A and B are shown apart, each in its own frame.
Chain A
Amino acid sequence: AQTVTQSQPEMSVQEAETVTLSCTYDTSENNYYLFWYKQPPSRQMILVIRQEAYKQQNATENRFSVNFQKAAKSFSLKISDSQLGDTAMYFCAFMKPYNTDKLIFGTGTRLQVFP
């Protein structure tokens, strides 16, 4: 069974600085997707970034980028130029597509951005 581990319960960063959130996972699959979701106080899960395991190039979405290390089963999220609106819970998630399609989430990291 797949598992996702987020070892940082809380992180903080000053506005405009860079922060990295860690995620490791365990799977025997070769084809899968990895995600970072943001959950603000509004409670809605918002997709931040997605990585396909068969792509070696790390995904990037504006200020958000990932460091995907397939052999090490590591998937960290880097937030550059942090903004106050980035304050939220961040969840790492795993999905095996075209079969189960269910998302397996980690326990989350609470990120606080300070002015």
Chain B
Amino acid sequence: DAGVTQSPTHLIKTRGQQVTLRCSPKSGHDTVSWYQQALGQGPQFIFQYYEEEERQRGNFPDRFSGHQFPNYSSELNVNALLLGDSALYLCASSRPPENYGYTFGSGTRLTVV
């Protein structure tokens, strides 16, 4: 039973560029959440997708956007990259109503130079 798969594992981008991160949820899960984890910090909630719609959003600017596909996989897009966007981006999947049963991926390490 595959867990949560994220790609790529590492990424280096230049300021001002755009980036797309991908996530495949655990089998049987239909809800995907994205978190940003800056170095030395706990993860911060970006947004959650369910039934291909953004269900809720954290305190992140509109430069951060996402998408969920019919197969429940998801993408996180970040436009106009800033140095401060450098972080580990974690994807977590779950299945309502038991959303306390999150399964996390190993993340994508994004470095903005």
Q: List the B side residues contacting A93 at CB < 8 Å.
A: 42
Complex CA–CA separation, A70 to B31 (angstroms): 29
A5 to chain B, nearest CB (A): 11
Complex CA–CA separation, A92 to B97 (angstroms): 22
A103 pairs with B107, CB closer than 8 A? no
Interface Cβ pair total, 8 Å cutoff = 62
Complex CA–CA separation, A93 to B43 (angstroms): 10
A78 at the interface (CB under 8 A from B): no
Q: List the A side residues contacting B96 at CB < 8 Å.
A: 101
Task: Report the interface size class on chain B.
Answer: 20 to 34
B92 at the interface (CB under 8 A from A): yes
Q: List the B side residues contacting A45 at CB < 8 Å.
A: 43, 90, 92, 102, 104
Q: Which residue of A lies closest to B3 (CB)?
A: A44
A33 at the interface (CB under 8 A from B): yes
Complex CA–CA separation, A44 to B40 (angstroms): 15
Q: List the B side residues contacting A44 at CB < 8 Å.
A: 104-107
B24 at the interface (CB under 8 A from A): no
A residues near B (Cβ < 8 Å) are 4, 33, 35, 37, 42-47, 50, 91, 93, 95, 97-98, 100-108
